[in-house]
Chain A
């Protein structure tokens, strides 16, 4: 609430600015959805049409029937779920270890975790390829899952650690007085309070696994193991770009993420920031 004594005019100006902002920020997504429902002739027209009438679902049917959609969707879903679950579980335990205990190598591990986030991902393509080749994990979804988990762990550990910092030790001490052992404390005391942070980092893991093109393309030899981003790129082929199909496919591809975000949006920011704020 504004403390200023000029409420009306200021409020209107502010709302006007907010509306302008919303229009600007939502425009690309609106245009994407609008294009997806337009027939071919209206897409490739020099005068843009802002409402998708005539309305058509042809682009979506083209997209869905494009080769590999269901397989790649299944692969993406499996990989993404596995990455989210695995990274959150591993990072949670690691964060607990890093914040609630003192042990040799703790600081070093933390710094390593921070430093490793700075490596540009494309640079790791061949080294990861060689590493997975030695481990015989090429062309397997497991190898891909582990790759994404490793990419996501540093940020996840860092965020969960920040979050755990904000939880006062007194709560655990009280539980210990009640006779609870270490593992019980972790499960019953820490985990519930950390849930918003867990949600925030799972979002990050979701996006990373869902969105990656380069590693999926190179590490998976067989097309039956490809994920959705690779499928998305196949709309721009040497026989021409199917714009309607491409935009419809992009919409389909973005949909789960947007829905996921919307569902957890209130918890999301709380999770990302609670640790930092208390810092």
Chain B
């Protein structure tokens, strides 16, 4: 019996191995041997949570109509994504088209992973002015390595019912009015753990708005060398304003966390907070559909009257892998995604994201539901992060998250935190890749 079990084990091992060997048949047609036209497939990697399935289907439909080829979409998670993209692009049969966050694009554009599409840029943009925050990071020494896909901005999302219960019925248009409103909400809801405005301490996308509003910058470049600028008086003032705001209106438990742990949309949906700053109301509605109609939005008002705080221009670009064997098809995909028709109908029409050019923003604004206009308004004054490959380090090592959390929790004073973060910026932004 024991001998038979060894034999059986060996047989099973061999069988399992041969099964797995069959599973790796990708090795045999990895180099994309000549395939009959019309049955080619383009592999596209998209990021989780960005485009909805319907929007993606719309892009795919436009592409298929133009080329007759099929699309294989794979949705990637954000966790450790740069490692994933790096190793994917280093392989001999990488995915053809990849969606890369605009702050990460410089890293791949500058290191030879993406194809140069400068020659096709003008035909793709067809006279539109692409948002500098999207195409800037993709441009290295005058050459363009990725095309913009969509932009996303942040605006304030508030619970009309909770606000009305505290006596506030209209959205504030100035910073002083905002704080006055939040004071009333805070007074009306003294229960521990409730935040009038939930603003996690690690939420750097939002915190940076205060810095920019005060006229400060993250980093400045001169003669090709970047240096951190958070120690300047303007930036210091903005950071201090943020610290006060965060400590006053957001619960103590939120000082060291990010927007996911605990999930701020879930907190809003379950009534633990009356206000959040976010990129869209879709997640809140998914968590609690009963809130439909009770949600309002407005751009975060700036300190100066009549102005909004400049927002972080988020969004993604589409890049073509330099080693992909389907360069022509990939270009066609980019053309489909950046075409005004698809942008208006899918990016704006279905998902409510901000489209990729100023002309499109103007032409589509009228068609938006009322809760989405705030995001478009906010986009008018947007800033992007330093367009240098070293920026990806700042996001991956989470030093920027820690920087703001240090200030919010009081681990470091505003000046101290800025000094050490500036030093880190100096080193990381200028590091060669």
Q: Spell out A's residues near B (CB within 8 Å).
A: 41, 44, 46, 67, 78-79, 81-82, 85-86, 88-89, 126, 129, 133, 136-143, 145, 187-188, 191-192, 195, 217-219, 221-223, 225, 233-234, 236-241, 243
A191 to B84 Cα, complex, angstroms: 43
Contact between B266 and A78 (Cβ–Cβ < 8 Å)?
no
The answer to whether B13 touches A78, judged by C-beta atoms less than 8 angstroms apart, is no
Q: A218-B87, A240-B260 are in contact. Are A133 and B92 (CB under 8 A)?
A: yes
Determine whether the beta carbon of B78 is less than 8 Å from that of A237: yes
By the criterion CB–CB under 8 Å, are B261 and A241 in contact? yes
Contact across chains for A238 and B287 when beta carbons are under 8 A apart: no
Query: Do B84 and A217 touch across chains, with their CB atoms under 8 A apart?
Result: yes
Known: A139-B26, A239-B49, A240-B263. A129 touches B20 (CB 8 A): no
B80 proximity list for chain A (CB < 8 A): 217
From 67 to 105 in chain B, residues with beta carbon under 8 angstroms from any chain A beta carbon are: 74-75, 77-80, 83-84, 87-88, 90-95
Q: Which residue of B lies closest to A126 (CB)?
A: B87
Q: Which residues of A contact B12 (CB under 8 A)?
A: 81, 85
B126 at interface (Cβ–Cβ under 8 A)? Answer: no
Contact check, A86 vs B13: say whether CB atoms are below 8 A apart: yes
B48 near A240: Cβ-Cβ < 8 Å: no
Cα–Cα, bound, A225→B88 (Å): 14
Q: Which residues of B contact A138 (CB under 8 A)?
A: 91
A-B pairs, 10 with minimum CB distance: A140-B24, A238-B49, A141-B20, A82-B16, A85-B13, A239-B49, A142-B20, A141-B23, A240-B263, A192-B2
Interface flag for B286 (CB, 8 Å): yes
Among candidates A81, A129, A137, A236, residue contacting B260 with C-beta atoms closer than 8 Å: A236
Is B77 touching A222 in the complex (CB atoms < 8 A)?
no
Q: Is A85 a contact partner of B20 (Cβ separation < 8 A)?
A: no
Residue in B17, B48, B286 whose CB lies within 8 Å of A86: B17
1/0 per position for B21-33, CB-CB distance to A under 8 A? 1011011001000
* Contact of A145 with B20 at beta-carbon distance under 8 Å, contacts A46-B193, A89-B13 already known: yes
Bound Cα distance A233, B79 (Å): 8
What distance in Å separates the Cβ of A42 from its nearest Cβ neighbour in chain B? 11
Q: Is the CB of A140 within 8 A of B287?
A: no
Q: Are B23 and A142 in contact (CB under 8 A)?
A: yes
What B residues does A239 contact at CB under 8 A? 48-49, 265, 282-283, 286
Q: Tell me if B19 and A140 are in contact (CB < 8 A).
A: no
Whether B2 contacts A188 by the Cβ 8 Å rule is: yes
| A85 and B3 contact, CB distance less than 8 A | no
Min C-beta distance of A70 to chain B, whole Å: 15
B341 contacts A by Cβ under 8 Å: no
Within 8 A of A (CB), among B172-228: 193
Q: CB within 8 Å of A: which of B275-289?
A: 282-283, 286-287
- Chain B residues, CB < 8 A from A85: 9, 12-13, 16
Distance in angstroms from B342 CB to nearest chain A CB is 22
| Contact yes or no, B24 A141, CB < 8 A | yes
CA distance A272 to B9 in the complex (A): 21
**Separation of A212 and B217 alpha carbons in the complex (Å):** 41
A240 neighbours in B (Cβ, 8 Å): 260, 263, 265-266, 283, 286-287
A contact residues around B78 at 8 Å (CB): 237-238
9 A-B pairs (CB sep. < 8 Å): A78-B23, A126-B87, A129-B90, A137-B27, A145-B17, A191-B2, A221-B93, A239-B265, A239-B282
Complex-state Cα separation, A123 to B386, whole angstroms? 30
Are A142 and B283 interface neighbours, CB within 8 A? no
Question: What's the minimum C-beta distance from B175 to chain A, rounded to whole angstroms?
Answer: 29
Q: Whose C-beta in chain B lies nearest to the C-beta of A83?
A: B16
Partner of B84, one of A79, A88, A133, A218: A218
Q: Is the CB of B48 within 8 A of A142?
A: no
A145: chain B residues within 8 A (beta carbon): 16-17, 20
State whether B87 touches A129 (Cβ < 8 A). Answer: yes
Q: How far is the CA of A192 from the CA of B3 in the complex (A)?
A: 9
- Is B270's beta carbon under 8 Å from chain A? yes
A128 to chain B, nearest CB (A): 11
| Residue of chain A at shortest CB distance from B87 | A218
Give which listed residue, B6, B17, B49, B84, contacts A187 with CB less than 8 A.
Answer: B6
Q: Is B368 an interface residue (CB 8 A)?
A: no
A13 to chain B, nearest CB (A): 39
* Bound: A138/B23 CA distance, A: 11
Specify the chain A residue showing the minimal Cβ separation from B10: A89
Question: Whole-angstrom distance between the alpha carbons of A175 and B9 in the complex?
Answer: 24
A41 contacts B260, C-beta separation under 8 Å: no
- A residues in contact with B10, CB < 8 Å: 89
Q: Nearest chain B CB to A110's CB is how many angstroms away?
A: 24
- Given known pairs A46-B193, A237-B49, the reply for A140 and B13 (CB within 8 Å) is no
Q: Which residues of A contact B30 (CB under 8 A)?
A: 136
Contact of B88 among A143, A221, A236 (CB under 8 A): A221
B3 touches A187 (CB 8 A): yes
The distance in angstroms between the C-alpha atoms of A225 and B27, with both chains bound, is: 13
Nearest B residue to A45 by beta-carbon distance? B270
Apart from the given pairs A142-B20, A221-B88, A222-B74, 7 other A-B contacts in the complex at a CB distance below 8 Å: A143-B24, A187-B3, A217-B80, A237-B49, A238-B50, A239-B283, A240-B286
B270 near A41 (CB under 8 angstroms)?
Answer: yes
Contact of A234 among B48, B50, B91 (CB under 8 A): B48
The answer to whether B79 touches A236 (Cβ under 8 A) is yes
User: Complex: how many Å from CA A236 to CA B48?
Assistant: 10
Smallest CB–CB gap between A74 and chain B, Å? 10
Q: Report A-chain residues with C-beta under 8 Å of the C-beta of B13.
A: 82, 85-86, 89
Q: A239 CA to B53 CA in the complex, in Å?
A: 14
A143–B3 CA distance with the chains assembled, in angstroms: 29
> What B residues does A234 contact at CB under 8 A?
48, 77
* A241 and B30 alpha carbons, distance in the complex (Å): 36
Pairwise interchain contact B20-A221, C-beta atoms closer than 8 A: no
- Nearest residue (CB) in B for A90 is B13
Contact B16 A78, beta carbon cutoff 8 Å: yes
- Separation in Å of the A243 CB from the closest CB of chain B? 8
B422, chain A: closest CB distance, angstroms: 29
Q: Are the C-beta atoms of B3 and A188 separated by less than 8 Å?
A: yes
Q: Which residues of A contact B265 (CB under 8 A)?
A: 239-240
In the bound complex, what is the Cα–Cα distance between A88 and B5 (angstroms)?
Answer: 13
* Residue in B16, B77, B87, B94 whose beta carbon sits within 8 Å of that of A233 in the complex: B77
